[in-house]
Amino acid sequence: MTQLAQPELLIAVHPSPLQSLLSKSISSTHPPSLHSLAIQIQHNLQYMHSWTDLHIHTHSPLTNETLSRPLLSGLPPRRLYTHPDEQIELLKQADRERTANKKRGGDSDALVVKADPEREWILPTRLSEKWTLRRLAEVFDAIGMVPPEEDEKNAWRTTKRVVMATADTDSTVVYYIVHDGVVKPRPN
């Protein structure tokens, strides 16, 4: 009796979408744990908070030196922070437009304040990390007032700021706006 040779069964195993994302964007300039954290935050901003035009930065736009950790930049769906003096000007402008609309016979009494979103820097962190003023200063020293993709800077933007994205072990992410230096408090 002759034994028939069994053909080898070859199964092509394709990586998951997440594995593909992580493998194609591995950074040789930072440890994989920091780079994957940046990708996690990028994914959270894009799919949970509707941010667009997100980029991972590994080098300082000012000096072209390697950043201490990857940073992100992106465009939120609406403005995150408005300088208190700009708030006053926006309210005055909206009131002028409302008054002009009434004079033209418009029936709307709504006060429509328009503040276009601005590109923001995002600092990916883990809840277990200890942040000091020195570490934050290193981040601020390596970045410009606005991310490099921004065409023009808002004249009211007078200090550098980052959105500190803090991820916990359960993948919860909390966002804080951190300014470089003292900022004028918002009016009540």
Long-range contacts of the stretch 24-31 (C-beta < 8 A, 24+): 25/56, 27/56, 27/58, 27/70, 29/58, 29/59, 29/66, 30/58, 30/66, 30/67, 30/69, 30/70
pTM for the model: 0.79
Helices 17-24 and 32-48, packing angle to 10 deg? 130
Is 31-80+118-181 a CATH 3.40.1350.10 domain? yes
CA atoms within 13 A on the CB side of 1: 1
Reported as a single tens digit per residue, the pLDDT across 74-128 is 999 999 988 888 888 989 998 898 888 888 887 778 888 888 899 999 999 999 9
Query: What integer pLDDT is reported at residue 8 of this predicted model?
Result: 65
Reported as a single tens digit per residue, the pLDDT across 121-171 is 999 999 999 999 999 999 999 999 989 876 677 888 888 999 999 999 998
Q: What are the residues whose beta carbons fall under 8 Å from the beta carbon of 149, sequence distance 6 or more?
A: 53, 55, 73, 119
| Number of CB atoms found within 10 A of residue 80's CB | 14
* Residue with the larger pLDDT of the pair 108 and 66: 66
- Give the Å distances, CA to CA, from 45 to 26, 81, 159: 19, 17, 23
Calculate what percentage of the chain has a pLDDT beyond 70. Answer: 85
- Segments of the chain assigned to CATH 3.40.1350.10: 31-80+118-181
